[in-house]
């Protein structure tokens, strides 16, 4: 008889979830790769506005899963939420396709469609994203040794989609002709529909618990009215209209998102630390989660320049001409995912052979920030003393993305694991919300930092650091990530004591 830990292979449900997530990430990263280029080359938004809008979009993408996860847990179940969210995202891509079809003939309609498309993408992601990964762990019995390998396989699915999405959407959408951006959005829509088809066709057959029960179905205590088709469609439309309004207001009326994020984290902190049922040890562990979440803001705000200022750099300052073919600027956004697939086994092997000498989780996260800083130092040297109008080799961007990927592998999976380990069971979901809120803050901040890109002008950061060229711009991230890394290194021993 096989015990759970002795079983070989993985449940077929893992590969259903792998394919579902892969096509969704294909859609999201493919669309993201051409988004800021579409804003500046077709819609003719200036770089400052486009950067800030990019930050608002990616920031809200990390906030809405809090709503989608809540709805799935209490009313709709995981599978229904995944399918509903996927269809709303596909609709968002289709709206962006029409936006990029009419931008010449009807600019006002095109702008309305653009904000609507982004709103649908944000709303759909909120229902899709939190529900797919939570199903992976439910495929295995408790204590199953295959679980770490399962999440590794699933993570590979994310990055296979993340590599091919920008490649194909860039190939057909980022051609140098702004009219072609629509084909990139249409390809993203097709990828999203494939994700939904995989779920509809194979979920009930293969995504089952070790006891053979189908996972992610409607919760037992869900009221019947919550799962009626009219309720679901009406709820999704209402939520989509809200997200359209949220991104429009932040971009055009009042920049409220930073205040909302700070308020959310403050509220969660008050709720948790005022809870008298938590003992001092548990509160100490919670404090570590808040501290490391603060430091990840510095990482992701620099890392997420990939879809904003680094895309400007790839498009305008990088020599992409191979003689027989000009590499689309959007293709560089495939590098991170390709490097993750290549480097992840190496890092897993490295932590294994270090054994007792393996660094603590906070130390690994400090190393992640250090790799990020070194990556920006690499590209800063690549542009130092380069005369205006001279394009630099692709090796500088490629090397930077390789170093950033090393940083990501030290920080991202380690941080998620740390939150899961330290969070008291009573507040597990709420503390995961802190992690995602920090990511949302970082993405919004990334847009603000991208707006400082010195495009034939002098910009400054907080009135204390002036940037008049690309070298000084990239050095901002060297200093920012480097200082955060050093502080986290110094705090490591203190954090380990707090972690007990």
Q: How confident is the model over 429-455, as pLDDT tens digits? A: 678 778 888 999 999 999 999 999 988
Taking alpha carbons only, the member of 115, 95, 111 closest to residue 103 is 111
Secondary structure (H, E, C), 87-140: HHHHHHHHHHHHHHHHCCCCHHHHHHHHHHHHHHHHHHHHHHHHHHHHHHHHCC
Mean pLDDT along residues 464-485:
93
Q: 35-49: per-residue pLDDT in tens?
A: 999 999 999 999 999
CA 57, 62, 63, 67 dihedral sign is positive
Interior/surface letters 466-481, b for 16+ CB within 10 angstroms, e for the rest? ebeebbbbbbbbbebb
Listed in sequence order, the residues at least 6 apart from 357 whose beta carbon sits closer than 8 Å to its beta carbon are: none
Q: How far is CA 40 from CA 228, 296, 403, 454, in A?
A: 42, 29, 28, 15
Q: 122-179: per-residue pLDDT in tens?
A: 999 999 988 887 788 788 887 777 776 777 788 888 899 999 999 999 999 999 999 9
Residue 482 confidence (pLDDT) above 80? yes
Residue 196 confidence (pLDDT) above 60? yes
Q: Answer whether 407's CB lies under 8 Å from 381's CB.
A: no
Cα dihedral: 450, 456, 461, 467 (round 10): 120
Taking alpha carbons only, the member of 358, 307, 355 closest to residue 334 is 307
In this structure, what token pair is assigned to residue 489? 């290194």
Q: 162-177: per-residue pLDDT in tens?
A: 999 999 999 999 999 9
Beta-bridge partners for 467: 459
Pairing of strands 465-467, 459-461: antiparallel
pLDDT of residue 5: 45
pLDDT of residue 7: 59
Q: Answer whether 29's CB lies under 8 Å from 283's CB.
A: no
- Largest Cα separation within the chain, whole Å, is 71
No. of helices (H) and no. of strands (E), the chain: 16, 2
Helices 47-63, 107-138: inter-axial angle, 10-degree rounding: 30
Interior/surface letters 109-147, b for 16+ CB within 10 angstroms, e for the rest? ebbbbbbbbbbbbbbbbbbbbbbbbebbeebbeeebebb
- The span from the first CA to the last CA of the chain, in angstroms, equals 38
Q: Answer whether 339's CB lies under 8 Å from 402's CB.
A: yes
Interior/surface letters 375-409, b for 16+ CB within 10 angstroms, e for the rest? bbbbbbebbeeeeeeeebebebbebbbbbbbbbbb
pLDDT of residue 162: 93
CATH topology of domain 256-500: Growth Hormone; Chain: A; (1.20.1250)
Measured in degrees and rounded to the nearest 5, phi and psi for residue 213 equal: -90, 140
Residue 461 confidence (pLDDT) above 70? yes
Q: What does the mean pLDDT of the chain come to? A: 90
Q: Answer whether 143's CB lies under 8 Å from 256's CB.
A: no
pLDDT of residue 1: 43
pLDDT of residue 3: 47
pTM: 0.90
Comma-separated ranges of CATH 1.20.1250.20 domains in the chain: 9-254, 256-500
In this structure, what token pair is assigned to residue 129? 């994203």
Taking alpha carbons only, the member of 343, 370, 309, 334 closest to residue 492 is 370
Taking alpha carbons only, the member of 221, 203, 208, 219 closest to residue 76 is 219
Q: Domain 9-254 carries which CATH code?
A: 1.20.1250.20
Residue 59 confidence (pLDDT) above 90? yes
Cα dihedral: 415, 418, 420, 423 (round 10): -120
Q: Answer whether 477's CB lies under 8 Å from 373's CB.
A: yes
Q: 235-285: per-residue pLDDT in tens?
A: 999 999 999 999 999 998 888 999 999 988 898 889 888 888 888 888 898
Helices 335-354, 147-173: inter-axial angle, 10-degree rounding: 160
Residue 215 confidence (pLDDT) above 70? yes
Mean pLDDT along residues 184-195:
97
In this structure, what token pair is assigned to residue 273? 């630390």
Mean pLDDT along residues 389-405:
94
Beta-bridge partners for 321: 326
Q: How far is CA 214 from CA 91, 138, 195, 224, in A?
A: 28, 10, 19, 19
Taking alpha carbons only, the member of 274, 273, 297 closest to residue 287 is 273
Which residue has better confidence, 422 or 201?
201
Q: 331-382: per-residue pLDDT in tens?
A: 999 999 999 989 888 887 888 888 788 888 889 999 999 999 999 999 999 9
pLDDT of residue 8: 65
| 79, containing H or E segment | helix 78-102
């Amino acid at each position: 008889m096989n015990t759970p830990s002795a079983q070989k292979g993985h449940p077929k449900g893992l590969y259903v979830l792998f394919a579902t997530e892969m096509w969704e990430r294909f859609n999201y990263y493919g669309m993201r790769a051409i988004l800021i280029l579409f804003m500046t080359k077709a819609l003719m938004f200036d770089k400052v506005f486009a950067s800030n809008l990019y930050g608002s979009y990616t920031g809200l993408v990390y906030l809405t899963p809090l709503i989608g996860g809540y709805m799935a847990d209490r009313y709709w179940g995981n599978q229904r939420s995944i399918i509903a969210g996927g269809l709303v995202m596909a609709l968002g891509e289709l709206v962006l396709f029409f936006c990029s079809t009419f931008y010449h003939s009807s600019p006002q309609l095109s702008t309305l469609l653009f904000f609507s498309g982004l709103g649908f993408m944000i709303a759909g992601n909120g229902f899709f994203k939190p529900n797919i990964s939570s199903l992976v762990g439910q495929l295995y019995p408790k204590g199953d040794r295959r679980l770490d390998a399962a999440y590794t396989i699933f993570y590979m699915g994310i990055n296979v989609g993340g590599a091919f999405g920008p490649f194909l959407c860039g190939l057909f959408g980022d051609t140098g002709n702004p009219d072609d951006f629509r084909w990139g959005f249409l390809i993203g829509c097709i990828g999203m529909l494939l994700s939904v088809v995989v779920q509809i066709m194979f979920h009930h057959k293969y995504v089952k618990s070790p006891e053979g029960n189908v996972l992610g179905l409607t919760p037992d205590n869900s009221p019947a009215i919550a799962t009626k088709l009219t309720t679901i469609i009406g709820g999704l439309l209402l939520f989509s209209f809200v997200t359209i309004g949220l991104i429009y207001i932040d971009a055009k009326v009042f920049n409220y998102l930073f205040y909302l994020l700070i308020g959310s984290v403050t509220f969660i902190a008050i709720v948790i630390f005022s809870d008298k049922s938590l003992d001092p040890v548990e509160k100490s562990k919670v404090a570590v989660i808040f501290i490391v979440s603060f430091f990840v803001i510095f990482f992701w705000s620099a890392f997420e320049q990939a879809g904003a200022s680094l895309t400007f750099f790839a498009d305008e300052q990088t020599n992409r001409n191979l003689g027989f073919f000009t590499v689309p600027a959007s293709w560089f956004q495939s590098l991170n995912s390709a490097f993750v697939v290549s480097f992840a086994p190496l890092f897993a092997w490295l932590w294994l052979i270090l054994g007792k000498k393996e660094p603590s989780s906070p130390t690994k996260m400090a190393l992640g920030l250090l790799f990020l800083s070194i990556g920006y130092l690499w590209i800063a040297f690549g542009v130092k003393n380069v005369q205006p109008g001279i394009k630099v080799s692709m090796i500088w961007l490629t090397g930077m993305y390789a170093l950033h990927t090393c940083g990501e592998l030290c920080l991202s999976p380690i941080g998620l694991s740390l939150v899961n380990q330290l969070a008291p069971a009573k507040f597990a979901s709420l503390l995961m919300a802190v992690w995602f809120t920090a990511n949302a803050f970082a993405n919004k901040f990334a847009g603000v930092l991208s707006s400082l890109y010195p495009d034939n002008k002098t910009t400054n950061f907080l009135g204390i650091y002036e940037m008049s060229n690309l070298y000084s711009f990239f050095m901002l991230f060297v200093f920012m990530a480097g200082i955060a890394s050093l502080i986290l290194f110094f705090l490591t021993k203190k954090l380990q004591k707090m972690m007990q």
